[in-house]
């Protein structure tokens, strides 16, 4: 298990813009070095639909991802992942085997809502 990261201030935390979005499209990403999906995630009218590459193939199928709410960092610079420009970082935690389990919410949250 990784050690705890160095302490940060609340202002540091507020620099990371984590929002809830809804997956509106998911497709295979065979060109990725590690198994991954390409996701289109709707963050509401202020942010819009953003693309993400997510290594979540161990626990999720394409069909079950569409309509699912996910958390993502929306203010990182876009990053080229093979032929895909990933615009947001979809968030998850590792399971016992190191595979990604998506961060979710247990109640209905407003699309585009910011984590606080």
Output the DSSP codes for 6-61: PP--HHHHHTS-EEEEEEEEEEE-TTSSS--EEEEEE--TTT-EEEEEE--TTT--
The CA distances from residue 116 to 5, 17, 33, in Å, are 19, 9, 34
pLDDT tens track for 31-80: 988 999 999 999 999 999 999 999 999 999 999 999 999 999 999 999 99
- Supply the pTM of this predicted model: 0.94
Q: How confident is the model at residue 28 (pLDDT cuts 50, 70, 90)?
A: very high
- As given in the structure block, the two tokens for residue 7 are 């302490």
**For residue 90, how many other CB atoms are within 10 A of its CB?**
23
Q: Is the pLDDT confidence value at 1 over 70?
A: no
Q: DSSP letter for 97, please.
A: T
């Amino acid at each position: 298990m990784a050690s705890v990261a160095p302490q940060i201030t609340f202002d540091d935390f507020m620099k990371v813009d984590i929002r809830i979005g809804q997956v509106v499209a998911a497709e295979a990403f065979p060109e990725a070095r590690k198994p991954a999906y390409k996701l289109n995630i709707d963050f509401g009218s202020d942010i819009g639909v953003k693309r993400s590459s997510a290594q979540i193939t161990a626990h999720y199928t394409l069909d079950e991802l569409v309509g699912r709410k996910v958390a993502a960092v929306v203010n990182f610079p876009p990053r080229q992942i093979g032929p895909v420009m990933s615009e947001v970082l979809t968030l998850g935690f590792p399971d016992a085997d190191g595979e990604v389990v998506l961060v979710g919410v247990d109640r209905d949250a407003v699309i585009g809502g910011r984590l606080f």
